[in-house]
Chains A and B, each alone.
Chain A
Amino acid sequence: MSVRLIRAEVVKLSTRRGLMAASLLLTVVATVVFALILLVLHWTDPTKHRIVGGINHFNNGLYSLTQLATMAAILIGATAGAGDLAAGFFRSLVVTGRPRGSLFGARIPGGLAVVLPIAAAAYVLLALFSFVVPGDASTPSTTLLVEAALWFQLYIAVMFLLSLGLASLLGSRATTIGILAGLQLLVTPLVQGLHNPGVGADSVLGLALWRLAPRELLNGAPPGHLGESLAVALVVIAVWMAAAVGLGAWRTVTRDA
Chain B
Amino acid sequence: MTDVVETSGLTKRFGDTTVVAGVDLRVPRGTAFGYLGPNGAGKTTLIRMLLGLTRPSSGTMELLGRPVPEQRREALARVGAIVDEPRFHGHMTGRQNLWVLAAAREPEAHARIDGVLERVGLLERADDRVSRYSMGMRQRLGIAACLLAEPELLILDEPMNGLDPAGMLEFRELLCSLVDEGRTVVISSHLLDEVERTCDAIAIVDRGRVVLQGRLADLRDSADAVLRIDCSDPARAAVLLRLREDVAGVREEEGQLVLRLAADDARTETAAIAHVLLDAGFELYRLQLDHDSLEERFLGLTTRLGEAA
Q: Give how many A-B residue pairs fall within 8 Å (CB-CB).
A: 84
* B91 and A91 within 8 A (CB): no
Min distance, Cβ A103 to any Cβ of chain B, angstroms: 7
* B76 and A96 within 8 A (CB): yes
CB of B104 within 8 Å of the partner chain: yes
A6-14, A188-196, A242-250: which lies at the B interface? Answer: A6-14
- Nearest chain-A residue to B71 (Cβ)? A97
CB of A4 within 8 Å of the partner chain: yes
Residues of B within 8 A of A98 (CB): 73, 104-105
* A95 and B103 within 8 A (CB): no
Alpha-carbon distance A83/B84, docked complex (angstroms): 19
Residues of B within 8 A of A92 (CB): 86-88, 101, 145
CB of A235 within 8 Å of the partner chain: no
Question: Which residues of B in the span 76-106 have a Cβ within 8 Å of any Cβ on A?
Answer: 76-77, 79, 81, 83-84, 86-92, 96-97, 99-105
Residues of B within 8 A of A84 (CB): 89
Residues of B within 8 A of A45 (CB): none
* A95 and B76 within 8 A (CB): yes
> With A15-B92, A87-B87 given, is the CB distance from A95 to B51 under 8 Å?
yes
- Nearest chain-B residue to A96 (Cβ)? B104
CB of B215 within 8 Å of the partner chain: no
CB of B125 within 8 Å of the partner chain: no
CB of A34 within 8 Å of the partner chain: no
CB of A2 within 8 Å of the partner chain: yes
Binary per-residue interface labels of chain B (47-79) against chain A in the complex, 1 for a CB within 8 Å, 0 otherwise: 010011110000000000000000011111101
Residues of A within 8 A of B87 (CB): 87-89, 91-92
* B53 and A257 within 8 A (CB): yes
Question: Which residues of A in the span 1-37 have a Cβ within 8 Å of any Cβ on B?
Answer: 2, 4-5, 7-8, 11-12, 15-17
- Nearest chain-A residue to B74 (Cβ)? A97
Of the candidates A7, A83, A91, A94, the one whose C-beta lies within 8 Å of that of B103 is A7
Min distance, Cβ A49 to any Cβ of chain B, angstroms: 43
* B73 and A17 within 8 A (CB): no
- Nearest chain-A residue to B83 (Cβ)? A91
CB of A197 within 8 Å of the partner chain: no
Alpha-carbon distance A93/B98, docked complex (angstroms): 11
State which size class the interface on B falls in: 35 or more
* B52 and A87 within 8 A (CB): no
Min distance, Cβ B124 to any Cβ of chain A, angstroms: 20
Binary per-residue interface labels of chain A (83-124) against chain B in the complex, 1 for a CB within 8 Å, 0 otherwise: 110011101111111110001000000000000000000000
Min distance, Cβ A95 to any Cβ of chain B, angstroms: 5
CB of B15 within 8 Å of the partner chain: no
Residues of A within 8 A of B52 (CB): 94-95, 97
> With A5-B103, A256-B53 given, is the CB distance from A12 to B76 under 8 Å?
no
* A97 and B73 within 8 A (CB): yes
Residues of B within 8 A of A89 (CB): 87-89, 97, 100
Alpha-carbon distance A11/B97, docked complex (angstroms): 9
* B54 and A97 within 8 A (CB): no
- Nearest chain-B residue to A3 (Cβ)? B103
Of the candidates A12, A88, A256, the one whose C-beta lies within 8 Å of that of B100 is A12
Of the candidates A8, A95, A99, the one whose C-beta lies within 8 Å of that of B99 is A8
The 6 A-B pairs with the shortest beta carbon distances in the complex, nearest first, are A88-B87, A97-B76, A8-B103, A4-B103, A96-B104, A257-B53
A residues touching B (Cβ–Cβ < 8 Å)?
2, 4-5, 7-8, 11-12, 15-17, 83-84, 87-89, 91-99, 103, 256-257
Known: A17-B91, A91-B84, A94-B51. 10 other contacts (CB 8 A): A4-B102, A11-B92, A92-B101, A93-B100, A95-B52, A95-B76, A97-B72, A97-B75, A97-B77, A98-B104
10 sample A-B contacts, Cβ–Cβ < 8 Å, listed by A number? A5-B104, A7-B103, A83-B89, A84-B89, A92-B88, A95-B53, A95-B79, A97-B52, A98-B73, A256-B54
